[in-house]
Structures are given as structure tokens and as C-alpha cells.
Amino acid sequence: MSRVQTPMIPVVGEWIAQHPGTISLGQGVVHYGAPAEVAEIVAKSVSSEPRVDRYGLVCGIDDLLDEIERKVSAENNIDLHERCVVTTTGSNMGFLNAVLAVGDIDDEIILLGPYYFNHEMAIDIAGCRSVIVSTDAQYQIDLAAIETAITPRTCAVVTVSPNNPTGAVYSQDSLRAVNQLCKSRGLYHISDEAYEYFIYGAEDHFSPASIADTQEHTISLYTLSKAYGMAGWRVGYMLIPRHLEVAVKKIQDTNLVCPPIINQIAAAAALRAGKDWCDEKIAGFGKLRDLVLFELSQLGDRCHVPRPDGAFYALMQVDSGKNDMELVEALIRDHGIAVMPGSTFGVSKGCSLRIAYGALDTATVAEGVGRLVLGLDKLL
């Protein structure tokens, strides 16, 4: 455990608590809550559903599994033949389940950098090794670099699209190429699709598991935390090859048996509200993205932000003599604005900061980015 990085969000959270009035553009959550149907079904189930007080099957309750199967078939175009659906406590647990199921001690798992820090942490916790392959200047996939990084110890390649921390959306062609590379080299392709509904550019969301003949090597991760405003409910799901079902059941049964039954009932109600409900809530995020980019452009060539077309993040590169942690602390202390240091996402060159703009309404985001620009103008 000593080599596992310390999560940065609690550290930044302590600094925020020491400076009341700070606006946080740090944590990746949305500003709205769950569909009304969730509260209604939970209130009813607590008083009338005996099963909420009991253990459930490891893979999940039938009504939630039915909703998940309907959704991935209709929206992600995934054929469930020879695949198994497993409900999880968010996609973080889905990822840890996947790594523990496919990786032996000292096996290598390729992450695309900048990476989502909890992925790197899970790989270390499992006793495997993260191999970081840089993306290009626009945070897009470099297939040749991935291929070069593969060794006899490699067991999986991870993609996150739309991406945390960069907001990049990978093209269908790129994801197909990664998936084919994994198939040809006998590797698993772990596809994290937590932000599947958060897309603002021309590229549609693409699920690699929708490709024919991918059921043996493709693992897909999803969550209700983001689009459905249910981060605290901790429910997600994973689609895994049928041959991994027993391994994942062993892992999940040991860790928590199953997500709490009441949470699964809530998740089923949310999925019945559906993508249209999510799309209505997300409709304004594209304008928020544009607002963030416009404000940051005031810094000129002291700040470079590859255009994010998805999720609700922007990873900015700044021209600073300070390291990113010094900059983050100074921004909180002296300017009342919090962002995340790029180093926690594996950025080792230069100084980078991640902005998360999903947790606040438009007016507060505008004020927060205004503070950020003013602060950086003085600090750079």
C-alpha cells in the first residue's frame, strides 16, 4: 500500500475547508440530484420491501439487471451473448473487480496518460504495474505508442472516453483500433464509459463492446453517479466476458456481497427515467464548457487548453515557475478558487491544472473561472 498514491481530492478538500468562501472546481460531480422517481420508489420500498434488509445475489437484483440489459442493448448496441452483467458500487469498484480478475501479480496494465488517478491506484492495490502511454498534444490516442508499450507481461489496455481528466472524446476509429490490437495480442480492453452522455462535439459516444466478436476480451464499465446525479448512491455496472463471471463473483462477494438492495432499487427507477431525463439535465453543459474556454483564453499564451468535447473537465497547461501543488494551494489561499493538480493524473512535465465544471450552476462557474483567471494572471 505504501506505493499507492494518496487521493488528492481529500487534500484539496482540507485546504478548501481552511478557507471559507472558496469556490471549488475540483471534484467531478454534477450540480443536480437524482430523478424524482428515485425518492418515490425508495420511500415505498423501505416500508414495504422485505428484501431491502437482506443480502442479494452478487450480480444484482433482477429488476435492475433487466433495466441494464435493456439499456446497453438499445443505447450501446451491445449484444449480450456470452457476456455477463454485474452490478457494482460505481464504476470504481467495477474497475477494481476487472483488474483483480484479469491481472496476476506484476502483470502490466496500460493506462493512457493523463490517467484517472483511481485507476492507477487500483492497479497498484492489485499488485500489478501501471504502464503509462502518453496521448498526443490534443489528448487523443497514439496507437503506435500503445503497441510499442506492450510486453509479455501486459494483460490489458484501458481507455476512458469521454475522458477524465482531459474531457477528450476518442473517435470510433481509434477505439476500434485499440480493441482490435487487444484482440490480436491476446489482451483485455477495459473500456470505462462513465461519461457516455456528456458529449458536446461532433463525435457520438461509441462502445467498443458493440463491435462484433469482442465478447471474449472486452470489459465495459458504466455508472449512474454522473449522468443520473447519483454519486452518493454508489451504483454502477460492468459487462464482462462470460468466462470471467466466476472470478468477478469471487471478488465482489468477498468485498461487499452486492451493492445495497435499496440502492439497486433506486438505480432501476433511475434507468426507467432514462436517457431523455439525463439529456435534459446535461443540455447546458456544452455552454458551460464554452464559458470555461472563453475565460481561460484571456490568459493568452500563458495557458493552453486542448478543446474538451466530453465529460465536464478541462486539463489546462500553464506556463509557471511554480509546481502544480504550489499553484493549487496559492489559488485557494489567496484567490478563493480550487482546482486539481495535474500531477495527480500522472502529468509529470510542466504545470497542469484540471478544472471540473459540472458541480456548479452557470453563475457560480462563471464567478469561479473568473477568480481562476485573475489568480493565474497574478501568479504566472
**351-356 and 108-113 strand pairing:** unpaired
pLDDT at 93 over 90: yes
For 16-73, the DSSP string reads: HHTSTTPEE--S---SS---HHHHHHHHHHHHH-GGGGS---TT--HHHHHHHHHHHH
Give the other-Cβ count within 10 Å of 260's Cβ: 16
**If you average pLDDT over every residue of the chain, what do you get?**
96
Burial grade of 142 (CB within 10 A; 0-12, 13-18, 19 or more): middle
Q: What is the pLDDT of residue 260?
A: 96
Give CA–CA dist 190/220, Å, rounded: 6
User: Using one digit for the tens of pLDDT, what is the confidence trace for 282-341?
Assistant: 999 999 999 999 999 999 999 999 999 999 999 999 999 889 999 999 999 999 999 999
Could you tell me the CA-to-CA distances from 315 to 92, 101, 157, 305, 358 in Å, in that order? Answer: 21, 31, 22, 6, 14
For the cut 90, the answer to whether the pLDDT of residue 196 exceeds it is yes
Q: Is the pLDDT of residue 10 over 90?
A: no
Average pLDDT score over residue span 149-162 = 98
| pLDDT attached to residue 331 | 97
In the prediction, which pLDDT does 291 show? 95
Helix ranges, the chain (H): 8-17, 36-48, 62-74, 90-102, 117-125, 143-149, 172-185, 245-255, 261-282, 285-297, 324-335, 362-379
| The residue to which cell 423501505 is assigned | 46
Q: Which amino acid is at 340?
A: M
Residue of 66 and 1 predicted with greater confidence: 66
Q: How much is the pLDDT for 30?
A: 96
- pLDDT at residue 9 above 90? no
Contact 357, 200 (CB under 8 A): no
6 pLDDT tier (thresholds 50, 70, 90): confident
Please state the rounded mean pLDDT for residues 167-173: 97
Q: What whole-number percentage of the chain has pLDDT above 90?
A: 91
What is the pLDDT at residue 202? 83
Q: How far apart are the first and last CA of the chain?
A: 36
User: What confidence category does residue 186 fall into, taking pLDDT thresholds of 50, 70 and 90?
Assistant: very high
Distance CA 282, CA 279 (A): 5
Nearest to 316 by CA among 299, 333, 331, 329: 299
Q: Is the peptide bond before 114 cis (omega within 30 degrees of 0)?
A: yes
pTM of the model: 0.96
Any residues with CB less than 8 A from the CB of 281 and at least 6 apart, and which? Answer: 30, 32, 227, 229
pLDDT at residue 343, rounded to an integer: 95
What pLDDT does residue 309 have? 96
pLDDT of 112: 98
Only one residue has cell 457516455, namely 196
Query: With 90 as the cut, is the pLDDT of residue 122 above it?
Result: yes
Under DSSP, the state recorded for 304 is: E
pLDDT per position as a tens digit, 23-43: 999 989 999 999 999 999 999
What average pLDDT does the segment 84-93 reach? 97
All domains of the chain, ordered by start, with CATH? Answer: 8-33+283-379 (3.90.1150.10), 36-273 (3.40.640.10)
pLDDT in tens, 229-285: 999 999 999 999 999 999 999 999 999 999 999 999 999 999 999 999 999 999 999
Work out whether the CA dihedral 294, 284, 203, 342 comes out positive or negative.
positive
252 in Cβ contact with 97 (< 8 Å) = yes
Instruction: Taking residues 99-114, report their average pLDDT.
Output: 98
Average pLDDT over residues 70-97: 97
Sheet holding 154-160, edge to edge: 83-88, 236-241, 218-223, 188-192, 154-160, 108-113, 129-134
**Per-residue pLDDT, 355:** 97
Task: Tell me the three state secondary structure of residue 131.
Answer: strand
pLDDT value at residue 7: 84
Please give the full DSSP string across 320-362, using - where no structure is assigned: -SS-HHHHHHHHHHHHSEE-EEGGGGT--SSEEEEEE-SSS-H
- In whole angstroms, what is the distance from residue 271 CA to residue 211 CA? 24
Which pLDDT belongs to residue 111? 98
What pLDDT is attached to residue 12? 92
- pLDDT in the model for residue 156: 98
pLDDT at 338: 96
Closest CA to 226 of 100, 311, 304, 108: 311
pLDDT at position 342 is: 96
